[in-house]
Amino acid sequence: MNVDQQVAYLMRGVEYGDPETEKAMAGELRARLILSETTGRPLRVYCGYDPRTSDLHIGHTVTMRKLRQFQELGHHVIFVIGTYTALIGDPSDKDKLRAQLTSDEAKMNAESYAEQAFKILDREKTEIRYNAEWLSDLSFKELIYLASNFTLQQFLTRVNFRKRWDNDEPVYLHELFYALMQGYDAYALDADVQVGGTDQMFNIMTAARKIMTYYDKKPNIGVILGILPGTDGEIKMSKSLGNHIPLNTSAEDMFGKVMSVPDKAMSSYARLVTRWGVDKVESFEEQVRSGETHPRDAKMMLAEEITAAFYDEEQAKKAKEHFINLFQKGDTPDEMPEFHPEGEPVLLDILVDSGLVKSKSQVRRLIEQNGVKIDGKAAEDPYLVLTPPVVVQVGKRRFIKVI
């Protein structure tokens, strides 16, 4: 690729909410790529991931795929695990205080992060760093100097902080440190490019660039990507909300979960999760829009591509066959009521609360008689904790989809 083609490739999927900002970042990236070619120095590109839980989901991989694209072009990628920022928790996309992790919790969760990331990233070309390395050594004096670059107004104009302020809900001082810490990450890593989602706009485009400038470093370029909605098609994918597709799952489960995504979210998944190029994505969207391809068939293509991206073509093909045998060749209807459990999704409670079965004693009898199925397989334990989305069947004709 020539430089202009590289810029187009690396800026695919970006969302700044402002065409002028996008143009400015594309221009800075182009200049930095030209300099890289001239000097022979690869760009230093990073993205940070806070180990709030022990597992990653495909929403995390949106930024990882962008890192992989930089790797393909020969640049140096740094995968930062936020063992120190996780102690605060990013408030950017939250309208309430996040629970603080202990150091031990953060370290324990971090242990599995890197290995999961190698489903996307090239193991041999990825540098793994933990931001406790440099953030834990910051003195109070240095923190004062960092904080002097910002005003309270800058933080309180942010939507989620403003919402809490207006609702007379507490905004804690330590939450303001998060943006400073992330900005310092960029400086400590001498980053040329930082990749992140739209919820990181302030942290990347304001905090990091301002702090790097303060330390007389050329400010990093922000490559800001869209946020992948969860399997509900509405809210950002999150394990805590139960609308996630985990990386540590089977090919069959991943395929089935993608098939449960609402039609309206297919475009986001095509643009943010697949390996398809721009032309392929636009063709996919046009075929669905024009009616040339039925949404169900389009989603089948999407699920196979996404599953293949995390496993391989053969496992994705088998997952597709499994799904067809389970849902399309059987008696499972295409449309069925959805049920959203309020607490832990225990089979016995779901059957009663959804109205499929009248009593818990009846649930036990039906299970003993093989009258209850989960995704086509007979259930054996009334206290089984389900992993949504799944289809629960009672008898031959009663179905619900547990979301």
What is the pTM assigned to this prediction? 0.73
* Nearest Cα residue to 134 out of 191, 64, 76: 191
Q: What is the pLDDT along the chain (403 residues), one digit of tens a residue?
A: 899 999 999 998 899 999 999 999 999 999 999 999 999 999 999 999 887 666 788 998 899 999 999 999 999 999 998 888 877 755 554 444 456 566 677 677 666 777 788 888 999 999 999 999 999 999 999 999 999 999 888 888 877 788 888 888 888 888 888 889 999 999 999 999 999 999 899 999 999 999 999 999 999 999 999 999 988 888 888 877 778 898 888 898 899 889 988 899 999 999 899 988 888 999 999 999 998 999 889 999 999 999 999 999 999 999 998 888 776 655 566 667 888 888 888 999 999 988 888 889 889 988 988 889 888 788 889 999 888 888 898 887 788 888 8
- Report if residue 237 sits inside a domain: no
What's the CA gap between 187 and 209, in Å, rounded?
Answer: 9
CATH at residue 167: 3.40.50.620
Are 132 and 36 within one domain? yes
Number of separate domains in the chain? 3
Name the residue range of residue 87's domain. 3-225
Are 37 and 172 within one domain? yes
Are 312 and 396 within one domain? no
* Phi–psi pair at 40, nearest 5 degrees: 80, 10
Are 219 and 261 within one domain? no
Are 319 and 295 within one domain? yes
Strands (E), 209-257: 221-225
Are 266 and 191 within one domain? no
| HSE of 229, CA atoms in CB hemisphere, 13 A | 16
- Report if residue 238 sits inside a domain: no
Give the list of residues 6+ apart from residue 132 with CB closer than 8 angstroms, or none. Answer: 83, 84, 103
CATH at residue 280: 1.10.240.10
